[in-house]
Amino acid sequence: MSMKRILSFSIFLFPFSSIYCWTGKVVFEDNFVGSSLNLNKWEYEEGCSEIYGPRNLQCYSRNNVQVRNGNLIITAKKEKLEDKDYTSGSIRQRGIGTTYGAYVVRARLARGDHLWSAIWMLGKDSSCRYEEIDIAQYRGQSSLSKELELTGHWGKSWDALNSEGTAVNAPFDLAADFHEYAVLWLPSKIQWYIDDRKYYEISLTDPKWKSDPKKLPCDGLEQKPFSQPSNFILNLGVGGAFFDNNPNFDPNTWFKPSMEIDWVRVYQE
């Protein structure tokens, strides 16, 4: 979700040929049953600070987060809160999370100009180590209805980051139906999947990880990135750096201002 960086993306029109069926023990799961968020598993992120996204146009409020009909529903609204003209919702998994495994989310993303659906992971112990895995980030305007960004960011802090990612043209409208978005995070690599098909991969053993010592994480057992626990963040942003900071859009054209999550799981061998 961090956008304080400049990325060079390649475009993949078709997935890799491999298909992965998730196996192992489920070590974290939420199917969003009942009528309220399970606060033993999640915590609300609330406020208008730019720590939630540079130059974003929304404040995050728990009022924009609902559990209904077996889904988590996060909705963006045009309404004033503090110094912002929009509100939306963000939640984060409680605890420090886990290291390595398959992280899978079944979701239907939001549709609307300058709506930013984000399914991602972030380490909580970031005193001198920033590690972010963007499972799926989606700009909701109709012209990009099939384009999804898959990215890894690592470094000492949010403003000293290396980044590697891609933009995927999926073969379907990401706001029309539910799809499974996943990363398989291993000590040697991270792979991104949509509906069990692999679309992208980065190596964690390539020597280029050590090419810029100023950006290497400096706490933990080793300097190697993506070796510490991480947990889920699910949020729907409005505007900001993900849209080249252009605030000119019409929220009355928002076709579907909600991101819906059916379930979340973490599998480990």
Report residue 2's pLDDT band, with 50, 70 and 90 as the boundaries.
Answer: very low
Tell which wins on pLDDT, 156 or 109: 109
CB proximity list for 202: less than 8 A, separation 6 or greater = 152, 164, 189, 190
Q: Which range has highest mean pLDDT (102-111, 161-170, 239-248)? A: 102-111
Q: What are the contacts of 40-48 at 24+ separation with CB within 8 A? A: 40/94, 41/93, 41/94, 42/91, 42/92, 42/93, 42/94, 43/91, 43/92, 43/94, 44/89, 44/90, 44/91, 45/90, 45/91, 45/92, 45/233, 45/235, 46/90, 48/81, 48/82, 48/83, 48/84
CA distance 53 to 37: 23
Which residue is listed with tokens 């050590």?
Answer: 210
The domain locations on the chain are 10-268
10-268 carries CATH number 3.30.300.30: no
pLDDT in tens, 18-75: 566 788 999 999 999 999 999 999 999 999 988 887 789 999 999 999 999 999 999 9
Global pTM reads 0.90
